[in-house]
């Protein structure tokens, strides 16, 4: 998994290869210049041969050259870092774009199985971790490799014996680093999974805090949070523990190597095969040669975290998309819908809708009633093709909906759900979502739904910026009804559309709906049977089957399941 993820990340980087090569060249030049500077300092030291034997002119010339090289190296390092920043954040930008684009084509079943908090964590937190890992990798990994190779060359030019000793002892750092890295990767993976679960839980609790307080669930909510938070803390501690071992462990090995270089160099000075300046150069190179291994070990540690985050992001990006879209554009004229022998289940082996067939003629108002969980909202999901049927066909105007584009199908419906959705935007843009209309048209639609009564009382009217917490549930639903009315759809779906509205306002809205539904095929899902008495056809569902159908009077005369439902709501009152 880790190797596959690394290949995917490298594929994303590959398209930036021209400027990546430029960065490597700048970085290489900067490192070689920095590594040449100790030779100059060594030459300057050898110019001091005694108290009265100092070649000051040569020392000044050498230091001037060194200053020029230091400035040049700094400039090259700056441009290399700027390019690395650009590549890192471009890669993460691409990842986020792909993740958001994938969400738009994922089936609802995927979104139902994963909490919104977890998906949000993948797009924001995990992508940020990838950016940090890439930036550290570009900054330290390439520079480290170049430093190691260049240092070996310069050391070899000074003393091949000491260089060979350093090279032979180097693998100790790799073994230590690899041993720790394999364990830190597992801990970082579990840490990121726990973080996603915690994000989902916090998101759920914050959005439903009123419910939590109303039912006295605070203590249990804290217990749930504490359990996942403790799990995250445990994995985070272990991840930090293993990752923090890497740097000091490799430093300990490198310090031993450094001490051996000092010891060997002292013997060579005594044997007159090495000068003091030469030893200072070797010590400088030995230190610089080992430093990249420390940097690389830090990169490896951070990269473990980045790769585990990348796993989660790629899992989202590569999730199986919704079934293939149709290639026809649906043109609705009459609004005739035919459902034949439909079977559907959310989970394999657990049938929800079985052998379902009915026909809606042009302009009919179809009411769908039944107990909770009987499949009413599921049927709406199938009509809109939010889910695909397991078998059977649903056709609009004689054309199976799997042969038409989802956009043209859904654009043919006006839909008002029990669950409202309000954007953090102006009232105007919330109402015009999915359509373009003038202020006059917006106001006219708002007056019909009685939403204009509270809109005109707002400080800035249609320009007032609102969010989910700005309005009551009933006001939000009125805006959603206005939104549907303004889109002037060919067909209508009302799923408990007036469930949060007071009775008096509901009467007015029913009149507005009646006008809007003229000559349109409409589906009404309702628990309150008072709202569907005038429907042309009432479909009574139970356990995924149609058990009865007919108009209100016909169903009462049958004295069947609908009769029982109706009496349970109205008999006592009447």
Structure confidence at residue 560 as a pLDDT band (50, 70, 90): confident
Examine the pLDDT at 97 and tell me if it is beyond 50. yes
Examine the pLDDT at 1 and tell me if it is beyond 60. no
Question: How do residues 465-511 score in pLDDT, each as one tens digit?
Answer: 888 778 887 788 888 888 888 877 788 888 876 666 677 767 766 77
Residues 6+ apart with CB under 8 A from 513: 492, 494, 497
> What pLDDT was estimated at residue 177?
67
Examine the pLDDT at 428 and tell me if it is beyond 80. yes
Eight-state DSSP code of residue 364: -
> What pLDDT was estimated at residue 150?
77
> What pLDDT was estimated at residue 571?
53
| Choice among 259-263, 341-345, 411-415 with the minimum mean pLDDT | 259-263
Which has the closest alpha carbon to 360: 388, 394, 408? 394
Torsion of CA 289, 295, 299, 300, to 10 degrees: 60
Examine the pLDDT at 160 and tell me if it is beyond 50. yes
Examine the pLDDT at 182 and tell me if it is beyond 70. no
Q: Are 420 and 373 in contact (CB under 8 A)?
A: no
Mean pLDDT of the 437-464 span: 86
Examine the pLDDT at 117 and tell me if it is beyond 70. yes
Burial class (CB in 10 A: 0-12, 13-18, 19+), 441: middle
Rounded Cα–Cα distance for residues 143 and 217 (Å): 55
CB neighbours of residue 406 within 10 Å: 18
Structure confidence at residue 3 as a pLDDT band (50, 70, 90): low
Average pLDDT across the chain, whole number: 79
Mean pLDDT of the 1-8 span: 71
Mean pLDDT of the 142-151 span: 75
Examine the pLDDT at 532 and tell me if it is beyond 60. yes
> What pLDDT was estimated at residue 364?
86
Q: Are 523 and 535 in contact (CB under 8 A)?
A: no
Run of H or E residues at 521? strand 521-525
Tokens of 462: 């249609």
Mean pLDDT of the 172-195 span: 73
Structure confidence at residue 436 as a pLDDT band (50, 70, 90): confident
Q: Which domains are present in the chain?
A: 2-317 (1.20.1560.10), 337-570 (3.40.50.300)
> What pLDDT was estimated at residue 33?
83
Backbone angles phi, psi at 61, to 5 degrees: -65, -40
> What pLDDT was estimated at residue 574?
46
The angle that helices 56-105 and 2-14 make with each other, rounded to 10 degrees, is 100
Burial class (CB in 10 A: 0-12, 13-18, 19+), 17: exposed
Mean pLDDT of the 333-337 span: 83
Mean pLDDT of the 80-84 span: 83
Q: Are 39 and 281 in contact (CB under 8 A)?
A: yes
| Choice among 64-78, 200-214, 215-229, 325-339 with the minimum mean pLDDT | 200-214
Q: Looking at per-residue confidence, does 43 or 397 come out higher?
A: 397
> What pLDDT was estimated at residue 572?
45
Q: Which of 51-60, 136-145, 174-183 has the highest mean pLDDT?
A: 51-60
Q: Looking at per-residue confidence, does 340 or 242 come out higher?
A: 340
Residues 6+ apart with CB under 8 A from 475: 451, 454
> What pLDDT was estimated at residue 23?
81
**DSSP reduced 3-state for 325:** coil
Question: How do residues 235-260 score in pLDDT, each as one tens digit?
Answer: 888 877 877 776 677 777 777 777 77
CB neighbours of residue 378 within 10 Å: 20
Eight-state DSSP code of residue 218: H
Q: Which of 187-191, 315-319, 486-490 has the highest mean pLDDT?
A: 315-319
> What pLDDT was estimated at residue 178?
66
Mean pLDDT of the 187-205 span: 80
Q: Which of 5-14, 62-71, 156-165 has the highest mean pLDDT?
A: 62-71
Examine the pLDDT at 573 and tell me if it is beyond 60. no
Rounded Cα–Cα distance for residues 229 and 243 (Å): 21
């Amino acid at each position: 998994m880790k190797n596959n993820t690394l290949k995917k990340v490298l594929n994303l980087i590959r398209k930036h290869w021209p400027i990546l090569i430029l960065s490597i060249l700048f970085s290489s030049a900067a490192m070689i210049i920095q590594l040449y500077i100790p030779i100059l300092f060594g030459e300057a030291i050898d110019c001091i041969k005694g108290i009265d034997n100092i070649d000051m002119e040569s020392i000044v010339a050498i230091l001037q050259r060194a200053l020029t090289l230091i400035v040049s190296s700094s400039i090259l390092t700056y441009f290399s870092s700027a390019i690395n920043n650009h590549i890192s954040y471009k890669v993460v930008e691409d990842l986020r774009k792909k993740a958001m684009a994938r969400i738009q084509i994922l089936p609802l079943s995927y979104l139902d199985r994963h909490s919104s908090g977890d998906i949000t964590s993948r797009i924001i937190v995990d992508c940020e971790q990838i950016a940090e890992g890439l930036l550290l990798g570009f900054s330290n990994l390439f520079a480290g490799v170049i430093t190691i190779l260049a240092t070996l060359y310069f050391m070899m030019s000074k003393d091949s014996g000491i260089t060979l000793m350093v090279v032979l002892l180097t693998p100790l750092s790799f073994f230590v680093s690899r041993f720790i890295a394999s364990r830190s990767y597992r801990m970082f993976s579990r840490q990121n999974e726990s973080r996603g679960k915690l994000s989902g839980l916090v998101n759920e609790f914050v959005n439903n805090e009123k419910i939590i307080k109303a039912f006295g669930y605070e203590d249990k909510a804290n217990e749930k949070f504490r359990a996942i938070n403790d799990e995250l803390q445990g994995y985070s501690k272990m991840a930090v523990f293993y990752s923090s071992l890497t740097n000091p462990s490799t430093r300990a090995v490198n310090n031993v190597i450094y001490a051996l270089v000092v010891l060997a160099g002292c013997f060579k000075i005594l044997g007159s095969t090495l000068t003091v300046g030469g030893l200072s150069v070797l010590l400088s190179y030995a230190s610089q040669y080992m430093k990249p291994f420390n940097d690389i070990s830090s990169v490896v540690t951070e990269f473990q975290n980045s790769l585990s985050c990348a796993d989660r992001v790629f899992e989202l990006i590569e999730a199986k998309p919704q079934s293939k879209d149709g290639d026809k554009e649906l043109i609705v004229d009459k609004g005739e819908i035919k459902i034949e022998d439909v079977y559907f289940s959310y989970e394999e082996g657990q049938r929800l809708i079985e052998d379902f067939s009915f026909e809606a003629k042009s302009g009919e108002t179809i009411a769908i009633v039944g107990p909770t969980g009987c499949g009413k909202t599921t049927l709406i999901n199938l009509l809109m093709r939010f889910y695909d049927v397991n078998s059977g066909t649903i056709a609009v105007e004689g054309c199976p909906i799997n042969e038409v584009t989802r956009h043209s199908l859904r654009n043919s419906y006006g839909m008002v759900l029990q669950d409202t959705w309000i954007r953090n935007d102006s009232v105007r843009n919330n109402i015009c979502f999915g359509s373009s209309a003038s202020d006059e048209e917006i106001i006219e639609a708002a007056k019909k739904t009685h939403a204009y009564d509270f809109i005109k009382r707002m400080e800035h009217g249609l320009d007032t910026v609102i969010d989910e917490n700005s309005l009551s549930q009933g006001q939000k639903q009125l805006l959603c009804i206005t939104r549907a009315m303004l889109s002037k759809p060919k067909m209508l779906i009302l799923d408990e559309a007036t469930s949060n509205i007071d009775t008096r306002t509901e009467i007015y809205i029913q009149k507005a709906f009646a006008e809007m539904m003229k000559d349109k095929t409409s589906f009404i899902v309702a628990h309150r049977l008072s709202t569907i008495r005038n429907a042309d056809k009432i479909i009574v569902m139970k356990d995924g089957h149609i058990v009865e159908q007919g108009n209100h009077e016909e169903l009462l005369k049958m004295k069947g399941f609908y009769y029982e439902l109706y009496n349970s709501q109205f008999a006592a009152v009447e």
